[in-house]
């Protein structure tokens, strides 16, 4: 597998997206988002998406500037993105939410009709960097997660990400789905020719599926288990249902279901929430409090096989530090797709280490 430095990946992504015909700022935002996902160790949301994104942009690229503001009050805004790029849209929505929170304590932005928003964990730390608590929820992605006790795909991954500022380092950050694994991680297993662990995907006989190709080839009889698996999956399933009820209607995207003609209906809403800490307490008081929590909890004695106890977001920061120096290893399948994109868009391939 080729190893590529992050600067080369940023350059390649930016050049490809520019060649696809999108604005400079948008090309930079999307390219950096994808590369940052790899640097934080989330290859599932990284540059493997680059060729597919670029091909979609080439076919047509609705502008964020053409969005429709459906509702606007001092503390909230609901936006129909009219097909705008999801990564660009949520990046812009973060700024709107922060501005409203500064005036009204809470700033809410609901987005509907935007494309794939990428890695949710990219966005809440931007809010935390402004001295606020940031939360992003999504009822987007394809039908994916099974209800507890079934193998039928009825729910989306239902991801959420949360971030809070801290005193001694980058913001705390939790980014998770309400199911056992994100779909991109299954795709990474397929690209790398690796089996999935038991506990990710279940079939209609209640057996674990370890071949990622089976998950892709047999959607009628396989699905991703809710968080908690066969024993405690009622928890992940319940959280997924509540995420649908919260995000879908409030963003104007609607809850996920299939209509009587068999067509998938609604969903794919994004909720961005900023909470101004200084409306409640001094920011430094808050940071002291949560830093004390982290020191108390992460000072626990590790079990055998564990090096240390990490606070949310610290593992990603450690991976970032390592990969900034070492470079990012790309699956051969991704590199082949890069080669096709290089030819299609007339852009030089990244240099390898």
Same domain, residue pair 86 and 129: yes
104 plus 90 within the same structural domain: yes
Instruction: Mark whether 272 and 136 lie in a shared domain.
Output: yes
Tell me whether residue 14 is in a domain: yes
Token pair for 23: 């604005």
Do 151 and 5 reside in the same domain of the chain? no
Tokens standing for residue 236: 């992940």
pLDDT profile of the chain (353 residues), mean per 10? 95 98 98 98 94 97 98 98 98 98 98 96 98 96 93 95 96 96 88 93 96 93 96 97 96 85 73 98 98 97 97 97 96 95 97 90
**pLDDT score at 264:** 56
pLDDT at 122: 98
* 75 phi, psi to nearest 5 deg: -115, -5
- Is the same domain home to 107 and 239? yes
Q: Within 10 Å of residue 69's Cβ, how many Cβ atoms?
A: 10
Residue 109 exposure: Cα atoms within 13 Å on the Cβ side = 27
Examine the domain organization and report whether 85 and 137 are in the same domain: yes
Q: Is residue 217 part of a domain?
A: no
> What pLDDT, on the 0 to 100 scale, is given for residue 260?
60
Pick from 58, 59, 123: which is nearest to 86 by CA?
Answer: 123
- The helix-helix angle for 6-19 and 332-345 (nearest 10°) equals 40
Q: Any idea what the CATH number is for the domain that residue 344 is in?
A: 1.10.1530.10
The reply to whether 338 falls in a domain is: yes
Q: Let me know whether 18 and 156 are in one domain.
A: no
Using DSSP bridges, classify how beta strands 76-84 and 68-72 pair: parallel, antiparallel or unpaired: antiparallel
Same-domain pairing of 259 and 324: no
Residue 111 is assigned to a structural domain of this protein: yes
> What integer pLDDT is reported at residue 29 of this predicted model?
98
Same domain? For 15 and 41 the reply is: yes
d(CA 296, CA 284): 18
Whether 220 maps to a domain, the answer reads no
Element containing residue 111 per DSSP (H, E): strand 106-114
**Does 28 reside within a domain?**
yes
Same-domain status, 165 and 261: yes
What is the domain count for the chain?
Answer: 2
Residues 233 and 337 in one domain: no
Q: What is the pLDDT of residue 3?
A: 96
**Contact criterion met (CB below 8 Å) for 166 and 290:** yes
User: What residue numbers bound the domain in which 95 lies?
Assistant: 65-180+225-279
Q: Is residue 196 part of a domain?
A: no
What is the CATH number for 263?
Answer: 3.30.1370.60
For residue 266, what pLDDT is reported?
A: 77
Residue 307 covered by a domain: no
pLDDT at res. 182: 87
Residues 272 and 130 in one domain: yes
């Amino acid at each position: 597998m080729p190893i590529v430095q992050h600067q080369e990946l940023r350059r390649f992504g930016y050049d490809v997206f520019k060649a696809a015909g999108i604005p400079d700022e948008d090309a930079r935002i999307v390219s950096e988002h994808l590369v940052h996902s790899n640097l934080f160790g989330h290859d599932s949301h990284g540059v493997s998406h680059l060729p597919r994104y670029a091909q979609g942009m080439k076919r047509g690229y609705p502008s964020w500037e053409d969005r429709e503001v459906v509702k606007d009050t001092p503390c909230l805004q609901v936006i129909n993105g009219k097909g705008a790029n999801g990564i660009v849209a949520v990046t812009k929505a973060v700024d709107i939410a922060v501005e409203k929170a500064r005036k009204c304590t809470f700033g809410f932005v609901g987005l509907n009709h935007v494309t794939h928003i990428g890695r949710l964990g990219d966005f809440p730390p931007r809010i935390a960097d402004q001295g606020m608590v940031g939360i992003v929820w999504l009822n987007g992605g394809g039908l994916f997660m099974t209800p507890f006790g079934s193998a039928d795909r009825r729910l989306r991954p239902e991801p959420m990400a949360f971030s809070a500022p801290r005193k001694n380092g980058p913001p705390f950050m939790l980014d998770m789905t309400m199911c056992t694994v994100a779909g991109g991680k299954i795709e990474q297993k397929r690209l790398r020719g690796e089996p999935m662990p038991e506990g990710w995907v279940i079939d209609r006989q209640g057996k674990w599926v370890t071949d990622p190709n089976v998950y892709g080839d047999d959607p009628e009889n396989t699905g991703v288990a809710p968080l908690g698996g066969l024993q405690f999956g009622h928890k992940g399933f319940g959280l997924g249902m509540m995420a649908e009820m919260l995000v879908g209607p409030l963003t104007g995207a609607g809850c996920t279901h299939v209509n009587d003609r068999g067509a998938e209906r609604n969903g794919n809403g994004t909720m961005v929430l900023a909470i101004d800490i200084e409306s409640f307490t001094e920011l430094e008081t808050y940071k002291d409090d949560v830093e004390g929590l982290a020191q108390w909890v992460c000072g626990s004695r590790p079990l055998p096989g564990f090096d240390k106890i990490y606070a949310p977001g610290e593992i990603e920061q450690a991976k970032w530090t390592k990969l900034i120096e070492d470079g990012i290893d790309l699956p051969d399948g991704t590199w082949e797709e890069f080669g096709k994109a290089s030819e299609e868009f007339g852009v030089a391939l990244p240099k390898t280490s």
